[in-house]
Structure 1
Amino acid sequence: MRRAAVFVVLVALYVAGGGYSTLLIDGPGQVALFWPASGVALAGVVRYGLRWAWFVPLGGLLVHLLFDPVPPAFLFWSLTSNFVGVLVGAWLVLRGPVTDPLTVRFGLRALAGGLAMALVSAGVGTFGMQQAGIITMPQVPASAFRWLLGDLLGVTSVAPAVMLALGRGHPRLQPPEGSAYGPESEKLLWNVALVASFLLMAWGGSLGGPYALGLVALPLGVLVWSAIRFSPMHTGLAIAVTMLLIAGMAGFGLAGYPAPTQARDGLNLLAFLIVVSSLPMMLAFAMHQQRVTAERLTQRATIDPLTGLYNRNAFEDLVRRDVAGTTAPMALAYVDLDHFKLINDTASHVAGDAVIRGVAGVLQAHRHPDDLLARTGGDEFALLLRNCTAMVAEDRLRTMLRAIEGYRCGWDRQMLATTASAGLIAFQPGQGDFAQLLSQADAACFTAKEQGGNRVCLASVDGGELLDRTAAMRWVVRIREALEDDALELYCQSIAPLRPEANGGRHFEILLRLRDPRSGELMMPGMFMPAAERFHLGNRIDREVVLRTLDWLERHPKEAASVAVCSVNLCGEAIGDEGFLGFLTDRLRRTAFPPDRLCFELTETSAVRDLARAQRFINQLRALGCRFALDDFGTGFCSFNYLRALDVDYFKIDGSFVRDMDSSPLALAVVRSINEIAHVLDKKSIAERTETERERQALLALGVDYAQGYVFDRPTPIDDYFGVRRDEAAA
């Protein structure tokens, strides 16, 4: 039904255009000055396809029956000329892509198609007029030119408006979203200006003079205004009305404009009007392209291409604007998918992208209409909940997390699923800037993940624990800067035998200090290692310490020869990292320093956490000759059952027990027990944090093998420990 209605409309428009043209015919045997029906024909066939071209001969037949009776001998030629002409012209236009018709390139192609249509139609039509005896052979050239230009003027003045009108609702023919078109007040002013230009043109023509037609520049200027400030549809309609009016004034000889009696005058007028109608439309297409390009650039700068949500920059701008413009309570949420890397690693990154798109759709469907949602990167989303208390915001987020948990993404005959953790901070405008609030929400999200994931963690603007975690994140930045700036420093502290040994070589532990690249402050491990281990930088630090230690010993062979045992601490993360084990094995095989003089210290808790992996780690390095110590021994309490499985050389008694021996019988008993167990297992015991001579004597009485602490020496830079700087200065 709709197609039939469109066909009827096209026929009606064609008949109306043809009827208007017949009024402009000077007399028998003359060609119409202006044929707007050609614009209707070309626009209709280009819009709906060549099969629709049959409305053209049908409309032409009705024009001749209703308005312009012609000799029967010419009727066939008239209908044929329009039909064949529109087929040729539309075919040329449709040869190229019609995906984006509101461009200058398409406009030029349509103009070329209109010219081909006019040439064919004029050639066939004037030949038919001559065959039917309407015109003589000498009249053929002038009639053909007038027919050609009349058809072409119909194309340039009417086709754009009809094409755009037929395409209403078509996405390619709509203005871009957010287009900076002139407001309604400007459009009203423009309407007044267009009417005024018509009146001034008529008034000027009534005064007479050979240059009265130059007043056409007045509506031309208004049309250019429309092309720059309004939509192509608006400009196309304005051009059609203007050309119909000007052609009518000239054709009817109204307002002092004489009708063109000479063939040359008619041709000049038509050529002038073709230029006047073409230029504003081309300008309108160019401005439309500029707006589309600007919108795409804006979209690329503000919209995440994968999900269609706002990106981080746009979200930040919108949040700042919202916070500045309201006093209502708000909440900022940070949502991160749990274990999303598993999906990328097992199903592919393409599958991961599909899951992210699906989760974005779930969040979009379950968010409150007033809330602002964005994808901030990777598998992370941010949400601003407007006019919302903490309790309400927490309920909304829990609903979203349940929806994510229930979401399934079909991929390669499997169903992919995930969960999410969320950090939430409720605030009043003015309580903090965006960066601080997002950092707090991010920290709360991290806490939710640490607690097992798939939950919401609520932070407060002054929440102590989350502020501590934010501070830890800042430590991570400083650690990374220190690693990049080569700001780690090696210190040494002796591990002294409590009874004389035959081997008098140096036995010491490598200790780490961090020189802050910004302040130059020397920082102890207790300040930065907890943050490093929490955010998985311990492995990287261990690599750096091993490399620096071996490099130093290789550069100083004389000092290295005096070493009996060099102990290096390893974090728990290193034990389970096959990459670290490979790195360590490769480096030890290439070193000139004997691996049997290296002792790696593992904390008791990290070793017991994955006993099989720890033993495998120890066995592989023992094959190269390395030794091992179980550090902070005694803090695990239940670990005595695993001692036979861990093939280590030393038990390092935790310093807290050594410190409390004088005041705590329990601490004394623990030290005695660990020492006895070590000797039963044929291991050596080392007491940490031995600070006083009284403690040294007590340890000696208990039979402890080694002690480490201030009673012997304080941690010293490695160069000073070996006297390298002193020797270099003496040399």
Structure 2
Amino acid sequence: MTSRNLLLAAALAAACVLLRLFQVPMAGVPASSLLYLQAGLLLTIAMFDPGRRVLAICLGATALTWIAQVWPVYGARALIGVPLYAVHFLLAVGGARLAGWPRANAAPLGTGDILRFVGVCLLLLPVLSGSAAVLIPLLALDQPAPPLVERIVEAAVATHLGILVLTLPAAFWLTEDGAERRLRADAVLPAAVLLGLGFVLGRWQGTAFGESLGAWMLSYRLLAAAAMAWCVMRLPARWSMPAVAGVMLILVYAVAERADEATNLLQPVLLGLELLVLEVLLLVLHVATRDGRLMHERLIEEASYDSLTGLPNLKALRRRVAADDGTDEELGYLVVDNADRLLAGLGLNAHTALMQAVAARLAERVAPYYVTSAQFVLMRRSEDQRHPDWQQVLQRLESFDFEWNGIHYRVVPYVGHARIRNSQAAGLDAAIIAASQAAFQARILREVMPLKEGDTARMQDVAAAQRKKLDEASNTLALLRTGEVALYFQPMRRIDDPQRGPVSAGEVVCRLRTPEGELLSPAHFTHELEAAGRLVELDRAVIRELFRWIRANRQQLGHMQHIGINLTAQSITSPGFVRELLGLMRNPPLASDVFCFEITESAAISDLEVSRRCLNDLRMLGCHVAIDDFGTGMQSFERLKQLPFDMLKIDGSFVRNALRIDSDYQLVRASVTIAHAFGAEAVAEYVENAEVFGCMKELGVEWVQGNLLGKAAPIEWLVRPGPWPT
């Protein structure tokens, strides 16, 4: 053993000897002690001393003390203490091992550990140890025959309480930090504290204050339990466990003072069991509180990483900036322009691997934080002192060659950067917005250099383009607000229904009529309206005009089974629009289940909670919901399954080429499987010929839509006799 370990063994041996001399006498029961603290300390040593050397030294010292005490009376027969303490050694080692100690891992104790410890060390071990302590000396020493059962119960209760007061709190204290402390020389201080505690309590014992405090705590033990519950919930184990041990010790004193010969030890036994229940409940409460806190911290940590790529996200960035006071820092915003092609061509796994590879490539220069698909916020690494050289960051990505299943792929990066004015959330958000705007403007300009916020010389062309878009958006809004909306309707039908009779199902599309009489398709104005944030006005105008027209022709539309209406992300996140829409659907021009509101997948998950609330409200009113253009905006099936929908419309770009391109065929088949898995019906768009129709039927599609059934025509064709125009 090293000198440090020898010092530790000596200190613990001295503690065992002095604690053995420490007595908690029971009133009316001479030469008795209700508490064997040395038993608790020896078991603690057995639990945390894999080599058993320290335990052997401590038990040897305790045995010598016992022999020295009885030698003047019994002489050489006092050597019975050697086999007696050998039995105690075996019981301590066996009890610790049976309870699972020393443990192979360093995890904090749990509820299962407590219950196992109670069964072995607080119920079985005290009985065996108490029996040995009474029976072995009785066989060797010439003593008058005592009442064996009472003596064994007395010794078992004292051992039980010693372990309860000292060992169980010590086990929590020694393991709570997640790294189990072995017995080392630096445990001399706790041993010294135990010695000091013994002396203080020895002086305190018997005083009027001590008696009144113990009696008060025993009488109001529920209040004491409540105070201890607060301690174990709010304080770390290094403070709460000594407090638990101290309160248990005071209560043991109170139990001893109330005991008398007439009780036949029944009262101490019952109160000892009550203390056991109290301490176990406190420790279980401590475990539940600690595990809840650790779970909360783990959830916060997990929330700081993107679930798909495993990369740190904006939550991690916010935590870092808040902790480091990132005032006057610079951040960059990276846009990988062509990553969506990789997603479409090679799938989600390849896209995820690309994001991880880009982050690894960046990590040698900056700290990357994943924002969304192919976008990162970049910050100075913690170990760096200077701001990043954004040109070097950009060049590092431009020289990056990504390989996936033998296919080499070059990224096209654009970087904008901005300064963080303050470490508050608003300052960080403002910097992210400014840097992202610069990055997207760099993409518009195809700028190969990093673009800084406020670089007016480089922004002139971008500003001109934006002004043009705003002008076009303004003209479009003028047409909407003057009611120049022309409604068109494209038929759809169930794939197994015969094509007879008038059209009863389809999707509403719109055109805008210019002053010159020209009809503009959505491709000419939706982008401008989206950029201006005014798509809500488009959806509102379409729905108002549609409902007006249906009411005017209600008598001729009784055969209608399905009318699809498109909603944009801006609309379903607009409280005013949603309020108006729900009001209209409470008094619909046709039965509510005729109307099906279509929203693109990417729009639905852009604000998942708001989208889900709006769509749920519509379904509660009897309407149907469809996810439109499925496959083009797929980001997370986990998010998709949180959306309520009845139909899944497969994007026509996959349907159109399903017979020619195997990957498109497989995508359509997978989409049908997904729709059915979610309990929805699959709709195939862009069905333009009989061959594609047959393919869709073979794949299990329920609905078809496209020029094979009829092209989009003015909605008035629904009330005209004759076939639909093709």
TM-score normalised by structure 1 residue count: 0.51
Encode CA deviations 1:415-457: one digit per residue, 9 max, x unaligned.
Answer: 9997854222347579998777645533433455577798523
How far apart are the structure 2 equivalents of 1:211 and 1:510? 86
Matched, 1:487 2:509: yes
Per the alignment, residue 132 of structure 2 pairs with: 124
Task: Give the 3-state SS of the residue equivalent to 1:111 in structure 2.
Answer: helix
**Paired residues for 1:683-722 under 5 Å:** 719=714
**CA-CA distance at 1:362 after TM superposition:** 6.4
Distance 1:272 1:490, change over 3 A: closer
1:401–1:421 CA contact under 8 A, matched in 2: yes
Which amino acid is the alignment partner of residue 375 of structure 2?
E
Per the alignment, residue 294 of structure 1 pairs with: 296
Per the alignment, residue 34 of structure 1 pairs with: 35
Which amino acid is the alignment partner of residue 375 of structure 1?
Y
Task: Give the 3-state SS of the residue equivalent to 2:417 in structure 1.
Answer: strand
Matched, 1:91 2:98: yes
2:16–2:58 CA contact under 8 A, matched in 1: no
How far apart are the structure 2 equivalents of 1:10 and 1:471? 83
Distance 1:439 1:208, change over 3 A: closer
1:236 to 237, 241, 253: 241
Identity of aligned residues (%): 15
Matched, 1:109 2:116: yes
Per the alignment, residue 415 of structure 2 pairs with: 422
Per the alignment, residue 155 of structure 2 pairs with: 147
Which amino acid is the alignment partner of residue 587 of structure 1?
E
Matched, 1:377 2:375: no
Which amino acid is the alignment partner of residue 290 of structure 2?
H
**CA-CA distance at 1:334 after TM superposition:** 1.6
Distance 1:454 1:150, change over 3 A: farther
Distance 1:584 1:161, change over 3 A: closer
How far apart are the structure 1 equivalents of 2:61 and 2:373? 65
Distance 1:519 1:208, change over 3 A: closer
**Paired residues for 1:620-631 under 5 Å:** none
**CA-CA distance at 1:273 after TM superposition:** 4.5
How far apart are the structure 2 equivalents of 1:510 and 1:225? 68
Matched, 1:519 2:545: no
2:214–2:253 CA contact under 8 A, matched in 1: no
The CA RMSD over aligned residues, in Å, is 6.3
Per the alignment, residue 21 of structure 1 pairs with: 20
Report which of the two structures shows the higher radius of gyration computed on alpha carbons. Answer: 1
2:173–2:241 CA contact under 8 A, matched in 1: no
**CA-CA distance at 1:401 after TM superposition:** 4.6
How far apart are the structure 1 equivalents of 2:146 and 2:310? 66
**CA-CA distance at 1:374 after TM superposition:** 3.1
2:335–2:413 CA contact under 8 A, matched in 1: yes
How far apart are the structure 2 equivalents of 1:233 and 1:209? 24
**CA-CA distance at 1:76 after TM superposition:** 0.8
Which amino acid is the alignment partner of residue 287 of structure 1?
T
Q: Identify the range of structure 1 (223-232 vs 449-458) with the bigger mean alpha-carbon deviation.
A: 449-458
Distance 1:424 1:204, change over 3 A: same
2:402–2:410 CA contact under 8 A, matched in 1: yes
Distance 1:169 1:227, change over 3 A: closer
How far apart are the structure 2 equivalents of 1:414 and 1:79? 72
Per the alignment, residue 189 of structure 2 pairs with: none
How far apart are the structure 1 equivalents of 2:143 and 2:374? 77
Which amino acid is the alignment partner of residue 80 of structure 1?
V
2:688 to 587, 595, 613: 587
How far apart are the structure 1 equivalents of 2:282 and 2:95? 26
How far apart are the structure 2 equivalents of 1:150 and 1:307? 58
How far apart are the structure 2 equivalents of 1:718 and 1:210? 93
Encode CA deviations 1:174-215: one digit per residue, 9 max, x unaligned.
Answer: xxxxxxxxxxxxxxxxxxxxx9xx999965555699878536
How far apart are the structure 2 equivalents of 1:101 and 1:141? 38
How far apart are the structure 1 equivalents of 2:663 and 2:354? 32
**Paired residues for 1:228-627 under 5 Å:** 228-244=233-249, 257=257, 264=265, 266-267=268-269, 270-271=272-273, 273-275=275-277, 277-304=279-306, 310-312=312-314, 315=317, 331-337=330-336, 356=355, 360=359, 366-367=365-366, 374-383=369-378, 395-401=388-394, 420-426=413-419, 438-446=432-440, 448=442, 456-460=450-454, 463=459, 465=461, 486-489=508-511, 518-520=536-538, 587-588=688-689
Task: Give the 3-state SS of the residue equivalent to 1:63 in structure 2.
Answer: helix
Distance 1:132 1:67, change over 3 A: closer
1:491–1:718 CA contact under 8 A, matched in 2: no
Encode CA deviations 1:35-83: one digit per residue, 9 max, x unaligned.
Answer: 23343344444446xx434533431111122466352124312331342
2:43–2:92 CA contact under 8 A, matched in 1: no
How far apart are the structure 2 equivalents of 1:17 and 1:249? 23
Encode CA deviations 1:140-191: one digit per residue, 9 max, x unaligned.
Answer: 3223222322222232222244334544764589xxxxxxxxxxxxxxxxxx
Which amino acid is the alignment partner of residue 229 of structure 1?
R
Task: Give the 3-state SS of the residue equivalent to 1:519 in structure 2.
Answer: helix
Per the alignment, residue 571 of structure 2 pairs with: none
Per the alignment, residue 9 of structure 1 pairs with: 8
Task: Give the 3-state SS of the residue equivalent to 1:374 in structure 2.
Answer: strand
Encode CA deviations 1:323-366: one digit per residue, 9 max, x unaligned.
Answer: 9x99x656442224576679889999778767755755665664
How far apart are the structure 2 equivalents of 1:10 and 1:162? 17
Q: Identify the range of structure 1 (13-22 vs 355-364) with the bigger mean alpha-carbon deviation.
A: 355-364
TM-score normalised by structure 2 residue count: 0.51
1:423–1:443 CA contact under 8 A, matched in 2: yes
**CA-CA distance at 1:410 after TM superposition:** 11
How far apart are the structure 2 equivalents of 1:473 and 1:586? 33
1:437–1:461 CA contact under 8 A, matched in 2: no
2:398–2:410 CA contact under 8 A, matched in 1: yes
Task: Give the 3-state SS of the residue equivalent to 1:333 in structure 2.
Answer: strand
Task: Give the 3-state SS of the residue equivalent to 1:58 in structure 2.
Answer: helix
Per the alignment, residue 55 of structure 1 pairs with: 54
Distance 1:159 1:456, change over 3 A: farther
Matched, 1:224 2:229: yes
How far apart are the structure 2 equivalents of 1:119 and 1:472? 91
Task: Give the 3-state SS of the residue equivalent to 2:536 in structure 1.
Answer: coil
Which amino acid is the alignment partner of residue 117 of structure 2?
A
How far apart are the structure 2 equivalents of 1:52 and 1:286? 33
Task: Give the 3-state SS of the residue equivalent to 1:119 in structure 2.
Answer: helix
Distance 1:317 1:165, change over 3 A: closer
2:354–2:402 CA contact under 8 A, matched in 1: yes
Encode CA deviations 1:395-416: one digit per residue, 9 max, x unaligned.
Answer: 4434545666789999999999
2:417–2:452 CA contact under 8 A, matched in 1: yes
Task: Give the 3-state SS of the residue equivalent to 2:108 in structure 1.
Answer: coil
Encode CA deviations 1:458-499: one digit per residue, 9 max, x unaligned.
Answer: 2428745556788999999x9xxx99985354999xxxxxxx
**CA-CA distance at 1:231 after TM superposition:** 0.9
Task: Give the 3-state SS of the residue equivalent to 1:587 in structure 2.
Answer: coil
Task: Give the 3-state SS of the residue equivalent to 2:416 in structure 1.
Answer: strand
Which amino acid is the alignment partner of residue 376 of structure 2?
F
Distance 1:374 1:141, change over 3 A: farther
How far apart are the structure 2 equivalents of 1:37 and 1:307? 55
